[in-house]
A and B are shown apart, each in its own frame.
Chain A
Amino acid sequence: DIQMTQSPSSLSASVGDRVIITCRASQSISTYLNWYQQKPGKAPDLLIYDASSLQSGVPSRFSGSGSGTDFTLTISSLQPEDFATYYCQQSYSTPPTFGQGTKVEIK
């Protein structure tokens, strides 16, 4: 199985900050990388697919980049509703695997 490693595990940031979360795969996955946002008590929501494609309805302050083994999720200007946990997930092979999550908290 492909291992996905996110960093940091948590971060504190203020409204308006630029936030960058990284995700590393244990082997090359091309651009088969998705990002999800999960709020407490809720199911995850798909934000980014294929490393950099924005899911319909997702604000443009979210962006993704990377290929091969290294990927990033960027929130250009953090909003109050963005405080949540973010997960990367590889869709290159079965079984799909998730990172351990990055919790974005209010500073």
Chain B
Amino acid sequence: QVTLKESGPALVKPTQTLTLTCTFSGFSLSTSGMRVSFIRQPPGKALEWLARIDWDDDKFYSTSLKTRLSISKVTSKNQVVLTMTNMDPVDTATYYCARHTNAYYQFDSWGQGTLVSVSS
């Protein structure tokens, strides 16, 4: 059974750096073809893809956010870590991690999401 769970702060201040951890089970990021992405959703709004990391450590980022994002993995702990710098109130959203098993971004398993609010 594949499970993913996001963890991190519920509240960050403007200009701070957000660090989110996705802890998963039921698959390994050392297996060829495995990939994990982060996706966010502001309250009442649509989904926005942020970043992806592959089993071979390839990394891809949102066009508009790439200067603020960094994604990494700790294979031995079954974790993926996303950092986002210079947080702003518009970054208030539920952040999800999701698994996909090919390059075609078919997100077949998702975490429950974690709401991050940005406020002073």
Contacts and interface: CB of A to CB of B under 8 A. Distances in A.
B46 A99 contact: yes
Main SS at interface, chain B: loop
Main SS at interface, chain A: loop
Contacts, number: 53
Q: Classify chain B's interface size.
A: 20 to 34
Interface residues of A, number: 23
B46 A43 contact: no
Interface string B84-96: 0000000000001
Given A43-B110, A43-B111, A100 B46 contact: yes
A91 B60 CA distance: 14
Contacts of B108: 46, 55
B62 A87 contact: no
Interface of B: 37, 46-49, 52, 60-63, 96, 98, 104-108, 110-113
